[in-house]
Each structure stands twice: as C-alpha cells, then as structure tokens.
Amino acid sequence: MSTRGWILAAALFLVASLVVGVLVGPVHIGLGAVLESVAARIPFLHVHSPLSSTDEAILWDIRMPRVVLGALVGAMLAVAGASYQGVFRNPLADPYLLGVAAGAGLGATLAVVYLREIDFQTTLPPAAFLGGAVAVVAAYAIGRSAGAGSGGATLVLAGVTVAAFFTAVQTFVQQQHSDTIQEVYSWILGRLPSSGWRDVVIVLPYAAVAITGILLHRRLLDVLSVGDEEAASLGVNVGRVRLAVVVCATVGTAAAVAVSGLIGFVGIIVPHAIRLVAGPSYRLLLPLSVLVGGGFLVLADVIARTALSPGELPIGVVTAFFGAPFFAIVLRTSKRMAS
C-alpha cells in the first residue's frame, strides 16, 4: 500500500474510534442527532439541534472533551514511544524511559499530600508535569556528565537511576501519609477525566508543539537507525537530533501524564503494530503512530467505561491487559532477531 493509502486508513481508523467514543455511553445519543448538534454549532448553517439541554451537556461537556483528550494523549504517547525507539535504537523503549513516570508520580503524590486543602485536583496536573520535567532534566544532566561521547545507552541508564530515586522518595512520602494512597493510586493507574474542556486546553499546546517537532525529525530518525557513526559521516549532528527529539517527546509525555496519569504500553503496542504491517521507516511510522495511537486509546477508554458498567475500570488496566502479552511477543521477537 502507498504512503497516502496508509495515512488514509489510519485517519479513517481515528475517525471511527472518535465516533464510537462519542456514541457509546449510558445515555443513548444517535449518530444523526450528534451530527445535527455539530452542524448547529457551525455558523451560518442555521441548523437546529434535536437534543435536549441535558443531552447537549452530556455530549459537549462530558463525552466530546473526554474523547478528544483520549485522542491527544494516545497520539502523544504513541509517537513519543516510536521516537524514543528510534533515537535509542531500542525496540523496547517507551515514553516513560527517562524517568517521566517516576517524576510525575512523585509530583502527583506531593500535590495530593501537601496541597489537599488548596484543592489537589487543580494543582495535581501542574505538579505532575513539573515532576516529570525535573526527572528528565536530572536524567539528562547525569547522562551528559559521563561525557559527550557516551551515547544513548548512558542516558537510558541515567533515566533508570533517576526513576529509582524518585520512586523511593514517592514511596517514603506515601508511607508517611497512608491516608492518601487511594487518591495517588487512582491517578497512577490512569484515567481520562470527564471534567470538561479544561484538560484538553492544558494538553493541546504541548502536544501540538511536541508532535510537530518530532514529525519534523522523522527523516533524520531514519538516518540515525544506521548508527551514530554512520549518521555523523552523512552530516547529521547526532547529539543535536537526539536532544531535540528527546525534549519534544518528553514535554509532550509529561503534559499527557499530567492530566491522564500513567497509561502504559501505548508507546510499545502502537509503533510495533504499525511496523508489522507498514514497515520500519520513521517517515511513515511517526505520522501513523499519531493517528493510530489516538484511535487506540479512545477505544481503550470505551472498554474501560463499559466493561464494568455502571462502574469504570482504570484505563491503564485495559492497556496493560493488551500490552503485557504484546510486550512479551516483542521481547521474544527482538531476542530472536538479535541471535
């Protein structure tokens, strides 16, 4: 299939996922009514919405923002995972590789513990974002201290070190305030909030800048795949490209994590599934990851909120259910290719 064909197929998958996400819920709203409600909000069409005020509120204040947020978070996590795998030439790399998860978890824990009286629901997203950013800056500083020629492996090890330290601090804080464990772990397991468009507004600018920056480097990631020395001999500034991609992926991931919690395996499932059907070229892999990642997480959220209806599963449980076996398959395949 041609590049345009793959892009079109992925775009149709995303649109279908968005439609399913909007239509599925305890209150039935038909597709025709949704389309008329959308048309009613377009200037100069003069279309009247057939929905009641209650259904309008459900559609535009609960379902629509949740579905859009799911698409943004899924797109960001998928393209970040794919870009990390390209930068570090490691098929098992994920968006949380450099300590974003641990830093965001510590930031969220501190917000829940020490800012409860202020309203931790408001302060948690910026605290999680700040924690994730601090963790990655620390990991990069430690990695760079090993020397400019240390390569990506040292940066990964620095990320593991920082993640271990931040996790230890988080555990200590939780033990000192055991009454907050439920709030912290409900965030850690991942969820898409139904609190309106505020979270979409928080994530959108970071995701837009991060995804754009990553896509602009997609051809250079193809060059990096041949190795640092070979890429440098072709005129590529390996260190600058790696830094730019890591910064974009990390900023976008930190923003996504800040509003959705830790949703695992998206950055592994989506890129590898695309590689199996469309090939390994990052010129195609990265834009497809944006589209398919968004659709995948929207559908995962549909499962999360309907599997135990009227209850709701953490979306991180759903992605782990599909992701853990997929990770095992990827690990087995990588081992077989290495041998």
Here the CATH number for the domain that contains residue 233 is 1.10.3470.10
The whole-number pLDDT of residue 230 equals 87
- The answer to whether position 17 is within a domain reads no
Q: Tell me whether residue 149 is exposed, middle or buried, using C-beta atoms within 10 angstroms of its C-beta: 0 to 12, 13 to 18, 19 or more.
A: exposed
- The answer to whether position 76 is within a domain reads yes
Say how far apart CA 26 and CA 28 lie, in whole Å: 6
- The answer to whether position 49 is within a domain reads no
Conformational region of residue 263, where left means phi above 0, alpha means psi within -120 to 50, and beta covers everything else: beta
- The answer to whether position 42 is within a domain reads no
- The answer to whether position 159 is within a domain reads yes
pTM of the predicted protein model: 0.89
pLDDT in tens, 120-164: 567 788 888 899 889 988 988 888 786 655 566 788 888 889 999
pLDDT in tens, 305-328: 998 888 888 999 999 888 888 777
Parent domain of 114: 69-338
CB count within 10 Å of CB 329 equals: 11
What the block records as the tokens of 285 is 């892999």
Percentage of the chain with pLDDT > 70?
A: 94
- The answer to whether position 16 is within a domain reads no
- The answer to whether position 191 is within a domain reads yes
Nearest to 129 by CA among 101, 162, 98, 158: 101
- The answer to whether position 28 is within a domain reads no
Say how far apart CA 32 and CA 230 lie, in whole Å: 56
Q: Indicate the number of domains in the chain.
A: 1
